[in-house]
């Protein structure tokens, strides 16, 4: 299955706004429910694909992230495991509102976030996570967003140490 990102629509056969059952059917792989933040519904983790899907009440897809082995593409560009500095250079002219921080970037224009834990210190290191999100996803309470980013960072640190 190809996982091409369509901004603010979805990735592959998974569309933002789908129900959990629709996502599971579209993916066609075994999902493991995992606890999510606060009162949000549990997420689905598709272990064999390295894909996590988060849901918002009442159980609609709001965020999809990849950590490998499946690698989504965008405008024919592979994003996962590509050197962060190359990926940043590719995004910069395409999104004038690009948000860059110590752990990667977020493109408000395309609804894509990249996780690269050493982005500032080791820009040649690869992108370790690619996510898509629905409009308004990052406009939630700032403290909740920080907690979520910390959890994502912790999840990748644990994965890379194993």
Which pLDDT score, from 0 to 100, does residue 97 have?
94
Q: In whole angstroms, how far apart are CA 79 and each of 21, 32, 65, 114?
A: 28, 25, 12, 8
Q: Summarize the confidence of residues 27-49 as an average pLDDT.
A: 89
What fold characterizes domain 5-161? Answer: protein yfey like fold (2.60.460)
The mean-pLDDT minimum among 4-18, 96-110, 142-156 falls in 142-156
pLDDT at 72 over 70: yes
Burial of 46 (0-12, 13-18, 19+ CB in 10 A): buried
Length of the chain: 162
Q: In whole angstroms, how far apart are CA 158 and each of 1, 64, 80, 128?
A: 27, 19, 18, 12
- The tokens describing 25, both together, are 């059917």
Burial of 117 (0-12, 13-18, 19+ CB in 10 A): buried
- The tokens describing 15, both together, are 């569309």
Q: Summarize the confidence of residues 40-62 as an average pLDDT.
A: 93
Q: Summarize the confidence of residues 61-84 as an average pLDDT.
A: 95
Residue 161's pLDDT band (cuts 50, 70, 90): very low
Residues 5, 74 contacting (CB under 8 angstroms): yes
pTM over cut 0.85 = no
Q: Summarize the confidence of residues 40-52 as an average pLDDT.
A: 93
Which pLDDT score, from 0 to 100, does residue 158 have?
55
Q: Summarize the confidence of residues 60-67 as an average pLDDT.
A: 96
Residue 69's pLDDT band (cuts 50, 70, 90): very high
């Amino acid at each position: 299955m190809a996982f091409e990102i369509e901004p603010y629509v979805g990735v592959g056969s998974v569309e933002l706004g789908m129900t959990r059952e629709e996502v599971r059917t579209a993916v066609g792989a075994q999902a493991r429910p995992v606890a999510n933040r606060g009162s949000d519904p549990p997420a689905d983790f598709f272990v064999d694909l390295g894909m996590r899907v988060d849901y918002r009440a009442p159980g609609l897809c709001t965020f999809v992230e990849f950590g490998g082995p499946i690698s989504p593409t965008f405008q024919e560009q592979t994003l996962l495991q590509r050197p962060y500095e190359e990926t940043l250079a590719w995004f910069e002219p395409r999104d004038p509102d690009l948000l860059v921080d110590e752990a990667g970037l977020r493109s408000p224009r395309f609804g894509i976030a990249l996780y690269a834990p050493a982005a500032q210190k080791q820009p040649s290191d690869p992108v370790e996570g690619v996510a898509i999100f629905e409009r308004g996803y990052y406009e939630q309470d700032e403290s909740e967003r920080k907690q979520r980013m910390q959890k994502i960072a912790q999840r990748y640190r644990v994965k890379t140490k194993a």
